[in-house]
Structure 1
Amino acid sequence: MGKHRDGFKSRTGFVLACIGSAVGMGNIWRFPYMVSEWGGMTFLLPYVLFVILIASTGVIEEMALGRAAKSGPIKAFGKCTEIRTGNKRTGEVIGVIPVIGSLALAIGYSVVVGWIFKYTFFALSGGLFHLGQDVAAIEGLFGGTAAAFGNNVWQVIAMLVTAVIMAYGISGGIEKANKIMMPMLFILFVGLGIYIFTLPGSEHGYRYIFTLDPKGLFDPRLWIYAFGQAFFSLSIAGNGTVIYGSYLSEEEDVVSSARNVAFFDTLAALLAALVIIPGMAVGGAELSSGGPGLMFIYLLNVFNGMPGGWCVEIVFYVCVLFAGLSSLVNLYEAPVEMMQERFGFRRKIAVAVIAMLGGIISLMIQGIVSGWMDAVSIYICPLGAMLAAIMFFWVAGKDFALTAVNKGTKKPIGSWFMPLGKYVLVPAALLALVAGALLGGIG
């Protein structure tokens, strides 16, 4: 009798978990900045085009690959090479790369989620609001938090919360947590956006967001950065989406699920932009920074000067916490699943081992987390996405790919799918790798 494999109990739970994995810091601290930097609709148009491209190829492919293999990237890649050559060992060795990438990114992300836990607690207690608009104090708080060994307690708390969610399994932990966090994230962001809309000066932010500069569309860099933002936002890296797909029932429609994930991921990014850019306009500040500086310094200064700033901070950092925690759970899932599949560990033991490893390393890299995250996101993530696409579209071949995708669909996927995956997605993933290396990151 085969070993029972945990899985999602409902399509809604699966989609919400995938949305949770996709909605992360990139939606909140990078997307609004890119919209501001590249001119509102001038950036949004190519971004949406690339979201459609990646969702209709890469997201579908990774979900279908995981489901077909009923396992993470190691076994999934092995299945592809076994189909082609009869040798699964080659694929399994290659499949280690995205698992290492997922673990490495999770370790760096653990540091950031530790920051978010601290700021959420400080927002709830009023500690952030009491800083007022004292720039030196605000910068000092973040400087101390982001320093080497500067946030140990909160990072341990973040790791423990993540481990507890994961220890309860896919349906009992990850699915249930995302069923709470994702709806709340969207509800809170909508409420925050409505409040920002009522404040004087916010109209300048909306006007900027919906401005189109046709000349800007001729800048090749705009298209590269729009592609990078879409590519990384949808979390195709040969790991997280593959592993969640492996827990999906064969009766579910991966094409429809990919469409929903892309829609809600984009909606979350737009909501963040509609909160942050008008919010900065209300405060009379320019959106001059992406990354941690935006979320932990510039926005905090603006919120503290707003009417109702304390409540705004609470809602904002709770939203950010949900986005960060849901993504972190997804990133740790690939190495946890590997421990279960390859070494026969029980779920709770596998979670404990990976949480201990991730927690110790993340504590040690607090002072260099920016460089750590850059290295992983620039090199390992696009490499993992490219390898997964090559395995699915080129190595396993058309029959396997179409069978995997069409299971559970009411209507077979169009003839466009295979050529678009082979001749557009794979080169696009290579472009993400090369452009990221040359430009110091594009997503």
Structure 2
Amino acid sequence: MKREHFSSRLGFILITAACSIGLGNIWRFPYITGKYGGASFVIIYLIFLVILGLPVVVMEFAVGRASQRSTAQSFNLLEPKGTKWHLFKYATIIGNYLLMMFYTVISGWLLYYFFKMVKGDFQGLTSDEIGHVFSNLLSSPLSMILCSFFVIVLSFGICAVGLQKGVERVTKIMMSLLFCLLLILAVKSVMLPNAETGLRYYLYPDFGTIQKIGVQECIFAAMGQAFFTLSIGIGTLSVFGSRIDKSHSLTSDALYMGILDTAVALLAGLIIFPACFSFGVAPDSGPNLLFITLPNIFNVMSGGRLWGSLFFLFMVFAAISTVIAVIENIVTYGMDLTGCSRKKSVSVNLILLLLLSLPCIFGFNIWKGFQPLGEGTSILDLEDFILSNNLLPLGSLVFLLFCTRRYGWGWNQFFKEASIGKGLPYPGFARKYISCVLPVIVLVIFISGYLSLFK
């Protein structure tokens, strides 16, 4: 069966960006920036994004393009005879399923809030009553099932149409609308009363704040955010690398993807920080920022129903574009492993993912007594911990070792593939850093994730 490729380079860049642009950019980035000191933290984050994340992005692209397969088969084709690198494919498959087991549920929450905003259900509510909206949603398994199942069925339906006519076409539209909404909301936010205080906090570096919080803690937070925002380590980007030709440099494509990913994160900060300071809300108010704090802000803002609806529509686009991208990976895994048709892989995986999303949903209501990581935690926290603190860093470490060690694919083969095409060359001068230093940094990030859990 001939492998379907993207119709354009733009389609490839947008869908890889869609894979990484999501809640990590729009909620977690502003929240963690507020927690660790604003603009000075952003500078540190951007440095680590370039020196930590982008080298691994190129490796995922290269493994996919060289093998013309997803990680379900790419390591089998590229590994030296007698080695066991191909066993890593099971970790990448599990990682993609695990991500969708809770990400589709959160996407359903965003869809629920969008319809609530459009209907005007938040108008006239007190702060406590707005908080109860979220708790009532979590306590209703039926509401969450309906919302998350809608997201899953819609995304699989788009993937069933095909790569070019379905996934690529829809992603182009959604990403274009996402950026338009983002710019509109950012302009509105910076024009709010007292917005300049939030802009100063967000854009003016104050390294004294970092010293108060703790330099080491801020650096680890910046490393972690830069590392996880690109969704590296579970083969999501490798799948799309297998669907492009060799006319353009992988380094250039990785850079464009990183720029889009970072632009969304920075613009999200331009929405959230001015709004928080304008209405006297702490910018580090934690996970409730998205579902409690911001609805309260929209509730007292002039034209808040409209702006709140646009904000949650923007969030829905960001979340569902990620879901579509990862589900395309899952569909491709099924096709590569079994040789089945796209429609059969879609049908089987649709049923499977509908069932696999249920534990996360039930963890907030009928199974809420199960608190796997300590008091106040849920099944979602466990799924996120397995993925973010284990599969992503360890998977990235596997890609690094596979592409730089002679008992893997090896530096020479990787560098040859990464250097093909027009555009920026891969930094060959950084071989020692990428081969020796970067794996140690990734291992440190993995260990720090466990240390923070025990704290």
Q: So what's the TM-score if we normalise by structure 2?
A: 0.91
Change (3 A) 1:412 1:274: closer
The equivalent of 1:100 in structure 2 is 94
The equivalent of 2:228 in structure 1 is 232
- Of residues 116, 134, 137 in structure 2, which corresponds to 1:142? 134
Q: Give the superposition deviation at 1:324.
A: 0.6
- Map 1:283-298 to 2 at 5 A: 283-291=279-287, 293-298=288-293
- Aligned AA (2:253): S
Q: Give the superposition deviation at 1:441.
A: 10
Q: What is the distance in 1 between the residues matched to 2:387 and 2:54?
A: 25
Say which SS state the counterpart of residue 427 (structure 2) adopts.
coil
Tell whether 2:194 aligns with 1:201.
yes
The equivalent of 1:243 in structure 2 is 239
Q: Identity of aligned pairs, percent?
A: 29
- Of residues 102, 106, 126 in structure 2, which corresponds to 1:112? 106
- Aligned AA (1:99): I
Q: Give the superposition deviation at 1:220.
A: 0.5
Please list every run of 5 or more consecutive structure 1 residues that lacks an aligned counterpart in the other structure: none
Q: What is the distance in 2 between the residues matched to 1:412 and 1:115?
A: 42
Change (3 A) 1:133 1:279: farther
The equivalent of 1:25 in structure 2 is 23
Q: What is the distance in 2 between the residues matched to 1:77 and 1:238?
A: 13
Say which SS state the counterpart of residue 204 (structure 2) adopts.
coil
Q: What is the distance in 2 between the residues matched to 1:370 and 1:161?
A: 25
Change (3 A) 1:412 1:19: closer
Q: Give the superposition deviation at 1:424.
A: 3.0
Change (3 A) 1:148 1:125: closer
Q: What is the distance in 2 between the residues matched to 1:267 and 1:96?
A: 33
Q: So what's the TM-score if we normalise by structure 1?
A: 0.93
- Aligned AA (2:134): F
**2:249–2:424 Cα contact (<8 Å) kept:** no
Which deviates more, 380-389 or 296-305?
A: 380-389
- Map 1:240-389 to 2 at 5 A: 240-291=236-287, 293-366=288-361, 367=364, 368-389=379-400
Which deviates more, 431-440 or 102-111?
A: 431-440
- Aligned AA (1:256): S
Tell whether 2:149 aligns with 1:156.
yes
RMSD: 1.9
Q: What is the distance in 1 between the residues matched to 2:175 and 2:23?
A: 14
Please list every run of 5 or more consecutive structure 2 residues that lacks an aligned counterpart in the other structure: 365-378
**1:108–1:372 Cα contact (<8 Å) kept:** yes
Q: Give the superposition deviation at 1:74.
A: 2.9
Q: What is the distance in 2 between the residues matched to 1:148 and 1:386?
A: 40
Q: What is the distance in 2 between the residues matched to 1:350 and 1:420?
A: 40
Q: Give the superposition deviation at 1:25.
A: 0.3
Q: Give the superposition deviation at 1:21.
A: 0.7
Q: Give the superposition deviation at 1:209.
A: 0.8
Q: What is the distance in 1 between the residues matched to 2:184 and 2:301?
A: 16
- Aligned AA (1:354): N
Q: What is the distance in 1 between the residues matched to 2:359 and 2:207?
A: 47
Say which SS state the counterpart of residue 416 (structure 1) adopts.
helix
The equivalent of 2:415 in structure 1 is 402
